[in-house]
Structure 1
């Protein structure tokens, strides 16, 4: 990591007095005073700058952030980082808006767009260019979430990723399924084999529910190669890939019945509890994130892990997946932006990224860290091995950041739900989203 010492102190010029009788040179009294105050004859001692580093994490997780800050503090004497945890987005925004902004903040990535548009987030482009910071070392899908348009307003400190299929091994064996599906078409057929009903026609176990544990209007279009804008302000939610992704999800409701699935879901247990449906053999398959079911995966675990299936006609979409990074940014009204930027670069260094990933059980955002033996050889990261490897995939994407991101996602959610229940067609759903959101996007572009 490149370090900068800030402004150099003024060089003290001293006058020499020739002492003829002794033939010696002596320092003037001013010279002695300066040397005494600085500890050397070159420069006065520079005061340590304290910066505030806020994060939204609760105590235990915040302590892991604090440990990294303490290591940074011990590595140099120019900057002292003070960590404050349990500062959620509302507390962060209140402080920033009220003129008491911290110097660097960890938050959720979808806050960066709206807050940047409001002038609360410092644009980092000049600092990046000035210090020749290499942004190409960041996983592209993670870095893209930090951009509004083509401007960078923050960096990811870690990322989560959904690009796996989790499946109940026993259910597969009982149904005679010898391997996880590779394509979406195979997954649909396997889901039928895994679904059972009682004598009254009630579903007693089901192979797959596309909107469990929630409707995901980002993950599914990515699996089909879709997008939400063209990069120039035109919204593309109603393109064929996005529509196809909803139609595929709706096919499960057509197959198993809206009422049947709704009734089954109402009696399902919650995730990662003793009544969890994928652990109890009530649910055969689900979308898998890297930090779910850690204790139930692996060779002896109940849950198998496989690449999420791709459309049979589009094998180029293998290893597609959704990226959701945790962001860090510098508030525009922070008192010490330069010191915050130095600390941010420290957090993006390879060793620190590996330390952070191991401590939090997350995926580092540096491509070179993904193959580092310190990470891959760590026993705590064993269950993340498949995710670390697939983090290199060029088919990883995420939702674009913008001032209207929350409204856009909400509109997608509402219309997708209608389409899954058969109230409107997938094409009508996405056309409605674009009709509603395009005027807002146009206004933002101006």
Structure 2
């Protein structure tokens, strides 16, 4: 496959990145890519006081950037060969401009779905040789997180951390008031519970609703995973139109059929937004929602208003218990990096167990090392108590995510568009997924021929 960078190719990719900016929610959840500030710049000769200088660009701002700065300082103090300088608040547009020009940094953190398109343009270094030479054991990484770093079976990056949707959040008071003693275990039970939690307002509308499948966004990756679906066969053929994917959309449409598309839409427009004082899950407007690990940290637990349970599974598919969607933050080495060997050493440092645990603790995220998930420094640490259930979920064999590819953003966009039509009742779920395959299969065929 030809991977030479051309100005035309990178310009086209930049347009794709900007167009896909709104997709990070469906592919990674709330603040999935993280936040941060920092210092440093990708300039100079790569030397500082006799040491190799590794320029690390990342998209973090605020607290997460501050945490990364602490980790960088710890690395710099741990040895005397490499100095890392972190530059935060570098969004995908800035990152792509740098790696397509002559001033590429040595290491980057970015949204995982950038890896596919950028690797196709030759902007991301294939790490297979580094992995082989270092005898680096990739099996110690959570499989679902590592898979998001691969394109055509080749490793182009590693996850630094992982976000995950695998739980059901529910309003305890609403459950108590409705006489519901425990959260639903199956999707069928969840539908019945939702009906019990839904109340009309006497004005042809609703004062509270049990569950809205596309709140706070259309999750076109999460739902097929819950039903055991997939998006390709690993050989270039798209599988979006398979029964499990169609069933996932059909299940969501049942809520709109039961409560009325107009009624739910009207309710959504006035129920408040997540993470505001009017948050519907907190103010008893919404009974249940899909739970990401970085939501309601201060309201979960025994004394909190929000209950937490495993997300329900299809009654006829008990083997799908503990399914969930992963969305990692990727770290990669640009193909034009000046200090690739040093960047690889830094990457391995971030993948060591103690560092993963410290990073997960301070950033309130999920580590990507399987061994870290059972470490008492996390599982018995009161500071991470709100994440204990997610650490356990992260060990599930039923975790999955969207496959990375050179056409990933177009694929996700098509899924969004067609799923929305199906939820509105404009087309059937089967038609929606057939449309997706018709749109994207030619792109997959073209990519497989390169």
Assess same fold via TM > 0.5: yes
In structure 1, distance between residues paired with 2:346 and 2:105: 13
Q: What's the CA shift string for 1:84-141, capped at 9, x where partnerless?
A: 1111111111111111000000101000000001100000000101110000000000
Q: Determine which of 239, 244, 250 is the counterpart of 2:253.
A: 250
In the alignment, structure 1 residue 149 sits paired with structure 2 residue 152? yes
Q: Contact 1:59 / 1:85 at 8 angstroms: preserved in 2?
A: no
Deviation at residue 206 of structure 1 after TM alignment: 0.3
1:12: which partner in 2?
none
- TM-score between the two structures when normalised by the length of structure 2: 0.88
5+ residue gaps, structure 2, are 1-48
5+ residue gaps, structure 1, are 1-45
Secondary structure of the 1:249 match is: helix
1:238: which partner in 2?
241
In structure 2, distance between residues paired with 1:199 and 1:80: 66
In the alignment, structure 1 residue 403 sits paired with structure 2 residue 409? no
In structure 1, distance between residues paired with 2:130 and 2:197: 55
Q: Contact 1:268 / 1:275 at 8 angstroms: preserved in 2?
A: yes
Deviation at residue 58 of structure 1 after TM alignment: 1.2
- TM-score between the two structures when normalised by the length of structure 1: 0.89
RMSD: 0.9
In structure 2, distance between residues paired with 1:118 and 1:418: 33
Q: What's the CA shift string for 1:275-299, capped at 9, x where partnerless?
A: 1111111100000000000111111
Q: How many residues align?
A: 401
In structure 1, distance between residues paired with 2:123 and 2:57: 15
Deviation at residue 268 of structure 1 after TM alignment: 1.3
Q: Contact 1:187 / 1:309 at 8 angstroms: preserved in 2?
A: yes
1:417: which partner in 2?
420
In structure 2, distance between residues paired with 1:345 and 1:208: 42
2:134: which partner in 1?
131
In the alignment, structure 1 residue 370 sits paired with structure 2 residue 364? no
In structure 2, distance between residues paired with 1:67 and 1:283: 38
2:46: which partner in 1?
none
Q: Determine which of 386, 391, 394 is the counterpart of 1:391.
A: 394
Secondary structure of the 2:272 match is: coil
In structure 2, distance between residues paired with 1:361 and 1:60: 10
In structure 2, distance between residues paired with 1:309 and 1:165: 8
2:84: which partner in 1?
81
Secondary structure of the 1:180 match is: coil
In the alignment, structure 1 residue 173 sits paired with structure 2 residue 176? yes
In structure 2, distance between residues paired with 1:205 and 1:326: 35
In structure 2, distance between residues paired with 1:48 and 1:258: 62
In structure 1, distance between residues paired with 2:312 and 2:384: 24
Deviation at residue 49 of structure 1 after TM alignment: 0.7
1:97: which partner in 2?
100
Q: Which has the larger radius of gyration?
A: 1
Moved over 3 A (4+): none
Deviation at residue 224 of structure 1 after TM alignment: 0.1
Deviation at residue 304 of structure 1 after TM alignment: 0.1
In structure 2, distance between residues paired with 1:138 and 1:361: 19
In the alignment, structure 1 residue 63 sits paired with structure 2 residue 63? no
Q: Determine which of 303, 314, 318 is the counterpart of 1:315.
A: 318
Deviation at residue 199 of structure 1 after TM alignment: 2.2
